DNA sequence: TTCACTGCAAAACGTTTGCAAACAG
DNA sequence: CTGTTTGCAAACGTTTTGCAGTGAA
């Protein structure tokens, strides 16, 4: 079945319309979207896109370094178009995920490596607390 | 169906044989076990224990502060009987998860809170790299 | 009797995979 | 052709839930 025209064939190994739509969905989302949210957004632009393609595209984009995958707890993965190293803060009340950057991470990595005896590659730092909005709402 | 004797009835709100078996499984595991591994270990001691009970018990023990749940990436949750605040290191080669403790976390929390404008509650820090064994195996 | 806890089975959730169809090169 | 990508649907692993049965209080 199938084959109405939009689907199928692709250029060799690069930015297909689907991948572009997925990338745009990540870039244009203010928050850090989940695969599901990306799917919905991409579908508005490319109604025939499938869930599997969203996942394939995210995998491709992540490996290509255009997008970064973030995890916290057992919740669904979220995606971030800011690919440089940075830190996260999660709100315990509304669940918002914010980016920030700590200047002292190089020393931090060295200290952590010394203590753990691991050969360091990267460090993940997440602050858990109340976001500014939730602090205000009481 | 059922009711062969081991299952069922329980004291009001506390350490049942099942919960004790689950707690022991976490404490006696050298590594940080997954729910599945805990299930297998607990079953050796209490053959009739079910998966659901392991999850219920882990939830109870976590809320009671006897056990701590740790996540990394999209892998299954792992459990840790060391409940004091501490940091983790994950090996990119063999997947081993090690504990360590960074002395400078209070300053770190303050710096992160200042940068993110969140009201801090806790901080999660994970070093990603090569564990000592995998460094040796080259 | 009441109520928390157990065991089972099925459901739910996010994610991955197998496969046929559809192209680009 | 060959090789890659898509869409669909079904499978997967982890975790949660509904429900009946059980026993301590």
On whether any CB of chain B is under 8 Å from the CB of A136, the answer is no
Q: How many inter-chain contacts (A to B, CB under 8 Å) are there?
A: 123
Cβ–Cβ under 8 Å, residues B124 and A125: yes
> Distance from residue A132 (CA) to nucleotide C10 (C1'), in Å?
42
For B119, the closest of A117, A126, A135 (CB atoms) is A135
Cβ–Cβ under 8 Å, residues B100 and A115: yes
Query: Nearest nucleotide by C1' from B53 CA?
Result: C6
For residue A4, name the pLDDT band (cuts at 50, 70, 90).
Answer: very low
On whether any CB of chain A is under 8 Å from the CB of B35, the answer is no
| Whether A138 CB is under 7 Å from strand D | no
> How do strand B97-100 and strand B87-91 relate by DSSP bridges?
antiparallel
> Distance from residue A39 (CA) to nucleotide C18 (C1'), in Å?
22
On whether any CB of chain A is under 8 Å from the CB of B102, the answer is yes
- How confident is the model over A19-72, as pLDDT tens digits? 999 999 999 998 899 999 999 999 999 999 999 999 999 999 999 999 999 999
Read off the tokens for B127.
């070093």
Mutual orientation of helices B35-45 and B51-63 as an angle, nearest 10°?
Answer: 110
Per DSSP, the three-state class of A25 is: helix
Measured distance CA(B111)–CA(B120) in Å, rounded:
10
For residue A8, name the pLDDT band (cuts at 50, 70, 90).
Answer: low
H/E stretch holding A90 reads: strand A87-91
User: Could you count the other beta carbons within 10 Å of the beta carbon of residue A9?
Assistant: 5
> What rounded mean pLDDT belongs to chain A?
91
In this model, does residue A89 exceed pLDDT 90? Answer: yes
Cβ–Cβ under 8 Å, residues B102 and A109: no
Strand partners for A130? B119
Quick check: A73 and B71 CB within 8 A? yes
For residue B14, name the pLDDT band (cuts at 50, 70, 90).
Answer: confident
Measured distance CA(A84)–CA(A62) in Å, rounded:
12
- How confident is the model over B69-105, as pLDDT tens digits? 999 989 999 999 999 999 999 999 888 999 999 999 9
Query: Nearest nucleotide by C1' from A4 CA?
Result: C22
Closest Cα of chain B to A57: distance in Å? Answer: 18
On whether any CB of chain A is under 8 Å from the CB of B132, the answer is yes
């Amino acid at each position: 079945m199938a084959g109405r025209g939009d689907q199928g064939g692709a250029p060799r190994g690069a930015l297909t319309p689907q991948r572009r739509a997925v990338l745009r969905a990540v870039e244009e989302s203010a928050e850090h979207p989940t695969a599901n949210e990306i799917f919905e957004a991409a579908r508005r632009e490319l109604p025939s896109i499938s869930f599997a393609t969203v996942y394939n595209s995210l995998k491709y984009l992540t490996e290509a370094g255009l997008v970064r995958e973030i995890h916290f707890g057992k919740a669904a993965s979220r995606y971030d178009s800011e690919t440089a190293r940075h830190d996260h803060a999660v709100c315990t009340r509304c669940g918002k995920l914010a980016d920030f950057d700590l200047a002292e991470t190089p020393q931090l990595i060295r200290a952590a490596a010394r203590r753990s005896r691991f050969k360091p590659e990267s460090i993940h730092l997440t602050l858990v607390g109340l976001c500014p909005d939730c602090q205000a709402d009481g």
